[in-house]
Structure 1
Amino acid sequence: MSFSGFTHTDFDVFKIEGLESRMDALITHIRPKLEDLGKHFAPMLTVETGDEIYPHVAKHARRTVNPPKDTWVAFASNSRGYKMLPHFQIGLWDTHVFIWFALIYEAPNKEDFGKKLEKNLGYIYKQIPTNFVWSGDHMKPSAKAHGEMTEEELQSLFIRLQQVKKAEILCGLHIPRNEAIEMTSESFLEKAESVFKTLLPLYKLY
């Protein structure tokens, strides 16, 4: 089975009330597509990064009450997990698809990575496309467009990564729900590959 693209049904999963009902719909409608994306992009990212990359589809296994508000497949260089490592993600909230490079709060070398980001601030500021977005918290759907940020604002994100235990850094592209639904599976795969390749310099800084 190959990735078939996203539909209104996929995004509407996050409107379903109750943990069990939402998880059932997520497993039925979204998870197979995330698994397909995992199989598609892991080999490509292995070639591009030079590391053996493994896909990790979110299981939401620890949840007992609150249903998930988003879901994803992550790509990292460890077959057992991704949260401790720099990684890539494709996932969705009810409003948009996200295609990220991410280093989240569980990674042990955030301070060193933050220093490397700050050292390369000028290069990063010039190279990231204006329609890409930055976030400091993977639990929130909002993010700020690169084209709306000053170099100083970006630097403050990098400094925060060095100084704040819970700090995170995410950079990538948000594709609004309606735009994602209108994309063919081929155009989505091409877009995601382009985003990943644009984000590779961040991964390689780690």
Structure 2
Amino acid sequence: MKYTFTQTDFDVFNIDGLENRMAALIENTRPKLEQLGEHFSDYITEMTGDETYAHVAKHARRTTNPPDDTWVAFSTNPRGYKMMPHFQIGVYNSHAFCMYGIIYESKDKQRLAENWLKNMDKFENLPQDYQISLDHMKPAKTALNEMTEDELEKGLIRLRDVKKGEFLVGKVYKPGDEELSSDDVFVKDLEQVMENLLQFYHQN
């Protein structure tokens, strides 16, 4: 499939060794990320009115340890995405994801976190199976319907006050999920997720 992650993409991250894993990733998964990047950079540009660029992970700095995930991120800066809130589509061995959020490199983290804290009611507008990540480097995520309002608030306070604090929200896809059954179904679902998360984009 052109866009959709399959079992082959999840299994890439079970391959031992940097060279072998990267070879499989480049052959199987990166072309899908590039296609997703092309489609959704245009889609986000149209949705927001802001020129948006795709950044596909290259993992070029790795010399020993193979990557545990890979992704394409979207930002209004053609040179990078980590310094600003951004959308990400990516995959681990256990799940794929589409998320929007703020990671520790963000230049304006404190102000952004305050904005999100003032608008916590927006989380009530989301499907409650959407998930929160407090560390984009780790696969662990928690569904909104498993978090209290206090826990959400603590996550955003940590984003504001802790240098390494991060906060991302979005949808997770497990191997075998119906949303991964075809390109058309997957792309339409990703578009809906981004539309649902757009309310956070607009409060930046």
| TM-score of the aligned structures, taking structure 1 as reference length | 0.95
Moved over 4 A (4+): none
Q: Is the 8 A contact 2:179 2:186 kept in 1?
A: no
CA distance in 2, matches of 1:61, 1:106: 19
CA distance in 2, matches of 1:88, 1:65: 28
CA distance in 2, matches of 1:125, 1:57: 28
Deviations 1:21-78 (A, max 9, x none): 1101100000000000011111110011221100000000111100000000101101
The 5-angstrom pairing of residues 1-206 of structure 1 reads: 3-121=2-120, 123-179=121-177, 182-206=180-204
Q: Is the 8 A contact 2:103 2:136 kept in 1?
A: yes
Give how far 1:181 is off: 8.0
Q: Is the 8 A contact 2:179 2:189 kept in 1?
A: no
Give how far 1:205 is off: 1.3
Report the residue type matching 1:90 in the other structure: I
Q: Is the 8 A contact 2:56 2:73 kept in 1?
A: yes
Give how far 1:93 is off: 0.2
Give how far 1:8 is off: 1.5
Q: Equivalent residue of 1:101, what SS?
A: strand
Pairs aligned (count): 204
CA distance in 2, matches of 1:189, 1:182: 9
More off after superposition, 40-49 vs 4-13:
4-13
Give how far 1:10 is off: 1.3
Q: Which runs of 5+ in 2 are unaligned?
A: none
Give how far 1:150 is off: 1.3
CA distance in 1, matches of 2:3, 2:49: 28
Q: Equivalent residue of 1:205, what SS?
A: coil
Give how far 1:129 is off: 1.4
Give how far 1:4 is off: 4.3
Distance 1:181 1:150, change over 3 A: closer
| TM-score of the aligned structures, taking structure 2 as reference length | 0.96
Q: Which runs of 5+ in 1 are unaligned?
A: none
Give how far 1:3 is off: 2.5
Q: Is the 8 A contact 1:6 1:180 kept in 2?
A: no
Q: Equivalent residue of 2:98, what SS?
A: strand
Question: What is the identity percentage for the equivalent residue pairs of Structure 1 and Structure 2?
Answer: 49
CA distance in 1, matches of 2:110, 2:117: 11
Q: Equivalent residue of 1:3, what SS?
A: coil
Q: Equivalent residue of 1:177, what SS?
A: coil
CA distance in 1, matches of 2:149, 2:81: 29
Give how far 1:102 is off: 2.0
